[in-house]
Amino acid sequence: MDILTLGNDLLRQKAEPVRPIGAEYVGIAEEMIEALHAGKGIGLAGPQVGLSKRIFVVQVEGEAPRVFINPTIIGTSQDLVKYEEGCLSIPGIWAEVMRPAAVKVQAWNEKGRPFTLDAEGILARVIQHEYDHLEGMLFIDRLSVPKRDRVLLKYEKRRVRQHPPKA
């Protein structure tokens, strides 16, 4: 699975619910986890691999991969924390983003089994980042305008270096 990068319209679309959660989602989740490992990331959402469906996979250090289908964030903590985020769709860019420290999420796994999870720390962070992808939102949208302009400029410079224009 190839990972789409900033500029691809699919990353800006609201993803569709998965209905029903068919047997093919076992394979889709597996492929997404492989792409996540290949990209050395901790989370990957459907739209990032060209699948505009409400699914994401997450794997934080020391834990097994988790699959979230049709997730709803049903609760967030009052306290907010700053944490440095990156995104497989915006390679080479990191920025501090403020978000709730803990979340409660309800979702279904790749076998169609419902679950509820209380998450904090890095897990809460990545769940919120991936959930945003399902809404067509990227972490850079949560930065102040001057900060976003700075990171986008850095991203463009980096891209030009990697793909120099042919004369």
Question: Which amino acids are annotated catalytic?
Answer: 130
For position 87 contacting Ni ion by CB under 5 A, the verdict is: yes
CA 114 to the chain's CA centroid: 20
Compare residues 18 and 58 and give the one whose CB is closer to Ni ion: 58
Residue type, 16: E
Binding region for Ni ion (CB under 5 A) out of 85-93, 96-104, 110-118, 140-148? 85-93
Contacting residues for 102 by C-beta, under 8 A, at least 6 apart: 76, 77, 79, 118, 119, 120, 124
- Least spacing, CB of residue 18 vs Ni ion, in Å: 19
Tokens representing 61 are: 């250090």
Q: Report the residue number whose CB is nearest to Ni ion.
A: 87
- Least spacing, CB of residue 8 vs Ni ion, in Å: 13
For position 127 contacting Ni ion by CB under 5 A, the verdict is: no
Count Cβ atoms below 10 Å from residue 130 Cβ, excluding itself: 23
Q: Which residues bind Ni ion (CB under 5 A)?
A: 87
